[in-house]
Structure 1
Amino acid sequence: MTLLAGRTAVVTGGAQGIGFAIAEVFVKEGARVVLGDLDPETADAAAGRLGGRDVARAVRCDVTSPADVDTSIETALAAFGSLDVMVNNAGITRDATMRTMTEEQFDQVIDVHLRGTWNGTRKAAAVMRRQRSGAIVNISSVSGKVGMVGQTNYSAAKAGIVGLSKAAAKEMAHHGVRVNAVQPGLIRSAMTEAMPRKAWDRKMAEIPMGRAGEPGEVAAVALFLASDLSSYMTGAVLEVTGGRFM
């Protein structure tokens, strides 16, 4: 028996990186998935790699738009008949020191991460409370725990996701809906591997396990929180950091 057999998940930012890794492990564990992403062509290609329309659909989704989030959820309901898991993963970075960061850069990151996660959480919760079951997994970051230089916008948004998740968990527990968060650390990706060597080495020196994480290692924790393996957990924040900043 697979962990998510017969269940349907929406994954925002699901066309690549951590989002795609989450969608991939969900499908392997029996779920049908809807990939919500700003880039519909990349999302379509990702859905094809997951097995096509029988198990995966792609929709254009700007998470700052409640209507787009509605469309992602409605696609799940229309194509697969349920919404059992919501993963709010979509994100951007606009790094700059506080002295040089523009108001637009601050607002963009807050809108995508914090407002986007709020949109996904509240829209999914409205469906899940009616069926009295469901799991919401919000992707935060270790930057929301400790704060990072050049990321007053990102750190604030990711810390906000923790508070949002805990408050939503308290509101939704008696409706049978669980809300948890994941805080990844340095995860290997095209973006992180493109950073200057000096910056990479400095971050690596902070990790007791001595290596960067892989997207699949974050996906495995998201799977745990989405499945019945974590049936008595809500409002939890799980770090996937290799021990960094523990």
Structure 2
Amino acid sequence: MDKLNLDRHISRQFNAELEALRTQMLEMGGLVEQQVSDAVAAIESGDTALAEKVIVNEDKVDEFELELDEQATLVLARRQPAASDLRLVLAVIKAIRDLERIGDEAQKVAKMAIELSGAGTNSRGASELRHIGASVAAMMNQGLDAFARFDADAALKVVEADKLVDREYKTAMRELVTYMMEDPREISRVMNVLWALRALERIGDHVRNICEHVIYLVRGLDIRHISLDEAEAKLHSKKP
């Protein structure tokens, strides 16, 4: 696990502002993580009440985004941070945008849960939803934990997990499109499954983004446009 020194400034107020920004971002992350967990549970169980809860709580996620954006902007304006402090503030700003988009995608999953609850008993696509849903929920938990602990190695593992989710999503897409072609009567229901799977895949992408922010924050490495093998080699060769 890596370390950042958030208590090294002469100004205790600056220390407190940085810590508050990080803490509140993680609080927003906890709310969004619950949104994802509830949306996945709703689509697995057909629990429309739980799905409605996810839809309603999206407003809270939006409020968090606006509040944290304002706080981060004030820190930039008042403190003009440099080096790792600047990377921390920028990482928080980028992370909260990804968190807000994760909330949007969780809301889409919840809406599809409501649609699917009245679409009959055909279970085609249920295993794909369950498996990919569990995968992205685990990524969400691990990604937030990596940010909380400034753990670049753990963040890279989440990036690797997203590649697996992408492969599973493409496989599920091919199988479900083939199924629709074989039985056109199921097109409407299976399209809802596909939209839910797409939203889950997008959640994985946004969690990956957050973990890329962690790696840049902690190690100063931008791994967005290189292979996983290259990223791992650079991460292990560059000392914090």
Q: Structures share a fold, TM > 0.5? A: no
TM-score (norm 2): 0.31
Higher RCO structure, 1 or 2 (CA under 8 Å, sep 6+): 2
More helix as a share of residues: 2
TM-score (norm 1): 0.31
